[in-house]
Structure 1
Amino acid sequence: MRTILPSGKQPWSRWHHRLHQLLLDDPSLLPQGSGLLIAISGGQDSLALTRLLLDLREQHHWQLQLWHGNHNWRQDAAANAQHLQQVAAQWGLPLTVDCAEPAPKSEAAARQWRYERLQRQAETSSCPLVLTGHTATDRAETLLFNLIRGADLTGLSSLRQTRPLGAGITVVRPLLAFSRADTQACCEQLGLLVWHDITNADRQFSRNRLRLDVIPELEALNPGATQHLARAAQLLEELEGQHSALEALALEAIRSEPGRADLNRQRWQEQPIKLQKRLLHRWVQQTSQQQLSAALTTEIWRQLQKPGRRPPIALSHGWQLQAEACMLKLIPPAASD
């Protein structure tokens, strides 16, 4: 396998072939000529992704930009960023480095900060696609992590190939068909200098304990367990997508009038109980842009089982749910003041 890259700089590896074939099979994933903003940490996954996309750029005509987030968690964070600036300069790619002030206090806060900054940078640089280096291994870990937290179908399929980030911006994970062992082998074959994040070995982070302790035990019980978990997550994503499409049709069918946000209460209550709850959850999310927990959805559903007009049910951010005799309404903050 010695096909020469269009740049003539080096032969194609099997990793180039795999990603190139994946993009040929699904051209909508990274459309030709798109502006791509790549989140790069210096670790093996994001480094392999960046190098492969750079080598395939001439065939797909992308505009590539890099973004790095410094959480201010590590003593070597500044050196990490400097290393990436050298890599970006060597590869001729623009790099933006954002530094968190103050440092996030949790994994969840760090993740929220990263995606907020990525969205802002994507808007500034006119990049409609934000790319991360998540792999099938990450997908397996996320499935397990969300499973033990009691997540529903949407949560179990949360690490998806694509997801919306903001208006006109989509997060894309092109390496979900690759394992972490694949990206390590890719970096070794292409001679890429990986920056090792020492916090990945810190067991105070729950995801690290899952990665370092639980996954190896599962692999010992059944070799290939990680691959099977990643496949299960993919199947759950497909199933959730089918459910979501059917729910969207069902939600339109119970609106008070076509195009209106209000629901016909009788038609809603004619649905099976489980579907009533899912439609309630989807309606609130779609109309008010807020997620209801499973427990809160069930509590609101219980209150709506009482006939007749009910007192408004308070939701987050000032929204209210008003139950009329024949109709369900969501009242925005300005209208409820």
Structure 2
Amino acid sequence: MITYLHHRVTQALFSSGYLGSNSALLITVSGGKDSLALLKIICEISLTYKWRIGVIHCDHKWREDSKLNTYSVYDFIQDLQIPFYLGVSQYKLHTEEESRLWRYTVFFNIADQYNYNIILTAHNLNDRVETMFYNLFRGTGVTGLSSLALSKQISNNISLLRPLLSISQFELAWFCRHFFLPVWSDSTNFNPIYCRNRIRQDLIPYIKHFFNPRVEEHINSFLDKITLQNIYLNKYGNLYFRRVVHSEYLALHTISFKHLHPLMQNLVLMHLLQYLNFSGKIEKLLPYVKKFISLTQYNNSAIKYGTILMVKKKYYLYICEQRQQNN
């Protein structure tokens, strides 16, 4: 049975521009309603487009029932007769951010190892709104507000797609009930120790009750506009990046950099730090790098921030990370 959600997901997938007739899709499945709905929809759509499909599940070992959760997902996947991959954390994960980084590392490694060119996650409209608040409270910029985009190029061979971003939790819950999908309730989603849960269970209901019952719809519209602005700005950010960053050494020409508008300075530095694999440290590093560039007394010198070493030599700034040597 084809529903309106099938059509909306199909439209979202093809609007990304990354899908082709020979695409291989790795679907991330937690066992919750969002990921099971996505899995069912993709499996049924793929009968038409002949995509190769695989499923990956990650066990963070946060809950006592995590193994039962894994078995539940595994049993459901076996009935579908598609490849199943399992990632199990070998060390204790302490924070939401640490867990997210570990999880995505597993996704990318499996996709690369087994030749999947598309990774699908089940983030929905509500997740997008929650992420905006979460990043806003951490002091993010405009780019961070719309960090949950429909698509993202990870490497030359792998892309990340989120085809449920315009679909609400209510619609996904209806879909799962309608098709009797074996949804696994994750108890950590109700634990107030996690910031996202407090946003979901306390903040957003408060805003809907006292300010605007359609707040999620309006924020989603706002994020669509921000995303368009970011696409436009990143286009020019890349242009200036090529002008002020050495193509071979990834060193920043400080004189040319100082003539840029402050907004373009931020974009160029963000691109540079991403190229240097400092994506997880951009928000913290950015003000320190800009301050180091502006202080003329530090010409032909070096400064250290944690494990990050910044060196100004003549006209160029070099940034690297010091690795600890094993004895």
Q: TM-score, normalised by structure 1?
A: 0.86
SS in 2 for 1:118: helix
Report the CA distance shift for 1:118/1:278 in structure 2 as closer, same or farther (over 3 A): closer
- The C-alpha deviation readout for 1:69-109, integer Å capped at 9, x for no partner, is 11111222111111111111111222122222233122122
Matched letter for residue 55 of structure 1 = E
Deviation at 1:255, TM superposition (A): 4.6
Deviation at 1:154, TM superposition (A): 1.9
Tell me, yes or no, if the aligned pair for 1:304 and 1:323 is still in contact at 8 Å.
Answer: no
Query: Are 1:12 and 2:9 counterparts?
Result: no
Match of 2:95 in 1: 106
Report the CA distance shift for 1:103/1:284 in structure 2 as closer, same or farther (over 3 A): closer
Question: Which of 228-237 and 63-72 deviates more?
Answer: 228-237
Deviation at 1:297, TM superposition (A): 2.7
Deviation at 1:259, TM superposition (A): 6.5
Report the CA distance shift for 1:91/1:276 in structure 2 as closer, same or farther (over 3 A): closer
Deviation at 1:263, TM superposition (A): 4.1
Match of 1:195 among 184, 197, 208: 184
Report the CA distance shift for 1:70/1:232 in structure 2 as closer, same or farther (over 3 A): same
Tell me, yes or no, if the aligned pair for 1:119 and 1:166 is still in contact at 8 Å.
Answer: no
SS in 2 for 1:175: coil
Matched letter for residue 330 of structure 1 = Y
Matched letter for residue 243 of structure 2 = A
Match of 1:127 among 90, 103, 116: 116
Deviation at 1:118, TM superposition (A): 1.2
Tell me, yes or no, if the aligned pair for 2:16 and 2:150 is still in contact at 8 Å.
Answer: no
Tell me, yes or no, if the aligned pair for 1:311 and 1:322 is still in contact at 8 Å.
Answer: yes
Deviation at 1:137, TM superposition (A): 0.8
Report the CA distance shift for 1:68/1:263 in structure 2 as closer, same or farther (over 3 A): closer
Instruction: After TM superposition, list the pairs within 5 Å mapping 1:1-337 onto structure 2.
Output: 11-24=1-14, 26=15, 28-166=17-155, 168-220=157-209, 221-255=211-245, 261-286=250-275, 288-291=276-279, 293-294=282-283, 296-307=285-296, 309-314=299-304, 319-324=309-314, 327-330=315-318
The gaps in structure 2 that reach 5 residues or longer are 323-327
SS in 2 for 1:30: coil
Measure, in 2, the Cα distance between the counterparts of 1:130 and 1:92. 19
Identical aligned pairs, as a percentage?
A: 25
Tell me, yes or no, if the aligned pair for 1:284 and 1:330 is still in contact at 8 Å.
Answer: no
Measure, in 1, the Cα distance between the counterparts of 2:79 and 2:264. 55
Match of 1:4 in 2: none
Measure, in 2, the Cα distance between the counterparts of 1:12 and 1:101. 40
Match of 2:325 in 1: none
Measure, in 1, the Cα distance between the counterparts of 2:67 and 2:269. 47
Measure, in 2, the Cα distance between the counterparts of 1:290 and 1:177. 30
Match of 1:6 in 2: none
Report the CA distance shift for 1:216/1:242 in structure 2 as closer, same or farther (over 3 A): same
Matched letter for residue 118 of structure 2 = L
Report the CA distance shift for 1:300/1:78 in structure 2 as closer, same or farther (over 3 A): closer
Question: Which of 152-161 and 141-150 deviates more?
Answer: 152-161
Measure, in 1, the Cα distance between the counterparts of 2:203 and 2:19. 34
Measure, in 1, the Cα distance between the counterparts of 2:274 and 2:111. 24
Tell me, yes or no, if the aligned pair for 1:137 and 1:227 is still in contact at 8 Å.
Answer: no
Report the CA distance shift for 1:329/1:227 in structure 2 as closer, same or farther (over 3 A): same
- The C-alpha deviation readout for 1:237-296, integer Å capped at 9, x for no partner, is 22112111111112223356x76644443322222344334433433433x222454564
Report the CA distance shift for 1:71/1:285 in structure 2 as closer, same or farther (over 3 A): closer
- The C-alpha deviation readout for 1:2-39, integer Å capped at 9, x for no partner, is xxxxxxxxx21222222233345x26243332111111
Tell me, yes or no, if the aligned pair for 1:315 and 1:321 is still in contact at 8 Å.
Answer: no
Measure, in 2, the Cα distance between the counterparts of 1:77 and 1:145. 26
Matched letter for residue 160 of structure 2 = V
Question: Which of 98-107 and 212-221 deviates more?
Answer: 98-107
For these two proteins, the number of residue pairs brought into alignment is 320
Matched letter for residue 21 of structure 1 = Q
Measure, in 2, the Cα distance between the counterparts of 1:209 and 1:333. 35
Which structure has the greater CA radius of gyration?
1
SS in 2 for 1:312: strand
Measure, in 2, the Cα distance between the counterparts of 1:23 and 1:294. 31
Measure, in 2, the Cα distance between the counterparts of 1:79 and 1:264. 55
Tell me, yes or no, if the aligned pair for 2:254 and 2:293 is still in contact at 8 Å.
Answer: no
